[in-house]
Amino acid sequence: MSATWVITGATLPDGRRADLVLTGGRVREVAGAGRADVPPGARTVDADGLVALPGLVDLHTHLREPGREDAETVETGTRAAAAGGWTAVHAMANTDPVADTAGVVEQVHRLGVTAGWCDVRPVGAVTVGLRGERLAELGAMATSAARVRVFSDDGHCVADPLLMRRALEYVRAFDGVVAQHAQDPRLTEGAQMNEGEVSAVLGLAGWPSVAEEAVIARDVLLAAHVGSRVHVCHVSTAGSVEIVRLAKARGLPVTAEVTPHHLVLTDDLVRSYDPVYKVNPPLRTPADVEALRAAVADGTIDVIATDHAPHPTEAKDCEWAAAAMGMTGLETALGVVQEALVDTGLLDWAGVAERMSAAPARIGRLDDPALGLHAHGRGLVEGAPAHVTLHDPTARWTVDPAAQHTQGRNTPFRGRELPGRVVATFLRGAPTLLDGALVDPGERA
């Protein structure tokens, strides 16, 4: 049983100032600032000036283990998650071996429990080996101890329309969702960056927007046809936003996410040939960034997810063409979101709580206590599990890759000053981060 903690004077997402009493792993009381009934022996956190958010839930994380421990482990990745304010992450399936069986997803689940920094929800592969040839053991993964509800071949597109239809039909039986990496493989053969003016100047093979948009359009129609849920990973173009918006207007069962880096970075950065800016999908144009921000603000895009993708130094410290795609993001996400959306007036903290906690938990069915998976995304209300993130919106800090907890050093924000800083994270009422420092499991009583 965790100790009792009282968080005093925090600003809730709706702007109210309140005290939060956390005990027994749950929020026992939410009272006006200075009015909480503080139990004897309770430990306190002075949260004056801090924003209290429900624990963040990442729908798209690469933890690399098993098989790529040189890039990241569940231990290091979830330490980074705790430092960034996350209390649950969905671990993508492109490990080695691929998470396409009940055995592998249960292994990832157990590694997360052992590490203890946040809840780890394995994502199951849609197809065996991510090869796009035949369906993986979707049912076995769903009924395993990991209770998988999100399936994705992320890094690869489920390009075969019949296979995608079968996957959507299969997951419907247990209310799962297929998270599609929307990338037509034929239209992106050899692609190195966004197709446009910059790619033409640099002479790099371009990655056209239509390669993403065509797959999204197909998939939302397939999902509607079979009555199943589809989720679009890392939307990156204005055209994709319009397709999702039209699909939602028709009541089609589609949700979508965007990454923090696609909300602030553009393809103009590729002029440096710095591989840290090489990512899949690629950085797009300022007009795309503007459209993505507007789509988060109006709810067309449901979720902000990191696509945290750590790589060993040698995979990025090389020439552009040979470099791996991907960026880290767990420890910088909230600062980038504050810069792009909150400080610009596009989104308030209630919106942040919806896009970074409630919506991803809902899409991943992590908010369902019936699954026995420590419900997330239920907000800072009495009786809810005590997953809390405390964020100082007035802080400013400079990103130093060497000081981060992830093994990956491939952050595009190195040397950049970001606003806001996560100062505490509570998982089931116990601090995993306190005063900006990680709290080892043995010290959390």
Q: Which residues are catalytic?
A: 307
Dist. CA 192–CA 255, nearest whole Å: 27
- Is residue 181 annotated as involved in ligand binding? yes
Helices marked H in 123-273: 138-143, 161-172, 197-202, 210-226, 238-249
- Is residue 410 annotated as involved in ligand binding? no
434: β partners = 437
Cα 98 to the center of its chain, rounded Å: 20
Dist. CA 47–CA 284, nearest whole Å: 38
- Is residue 62 annotated as involved in ligand binding? yes
Q: In the structure encoding, which two tokens stand for residue 268, read together? A: 């103009």
| Residue 224, CA distances (Å) to 220, 257, 304, 378, 429 in order | 6, 19, 24, 28, 40
Dist. CA 149–CA 138, nearest whole Å: 9
Peptide bond into 97 cis (omega under 30): yes
- Cα radius of gyration (the chain): 21
Q: In the structure encoding, which two tokens stand for residue 45, read together? A: 């956190």
> What amino acid is encoded at 284 in this protein?
R
Residue by residue, DSSP assigns 81-116 as HHHTTEEEEEEPS-SSS-S-SHHHHHHHHHHHHHH-
| Residue 244, CA distances (Å) to 59, 74, 230, 346 in order | 18, 33, 11, 19
- Is residue 109 annotated as involved in ligand binding? no
Dist. CA 335–CA 389, nearest whole Å: 13
The answer to whether the CB of 277 falls within 8 A of the CB of 38 is no
- Is residue 311 annotated as involved in ligand binding? yes
| Residue 10, CA distances (Å) to 7, 19, 34, 380 in order | 7, 6, 10, 11
The answer to whether the CB of 152 falls within 8 A of the CB of 125 is yes
Dist. CA 276–CA 172, nearest whole Å: 38
Residue 38, SS3? coil
Task: Provide the annotated binding site for substrate.
Answer: 62-64, 94, 280, 311
Instruction: Give the annotated binding-site residues for Zn(2+).
Output: 60, 62, 154, 181, 234, 307
Q: Residues annotated as binding site?
A: 60, 62-64, 94, 154, 181, 234, 280, 307, 311
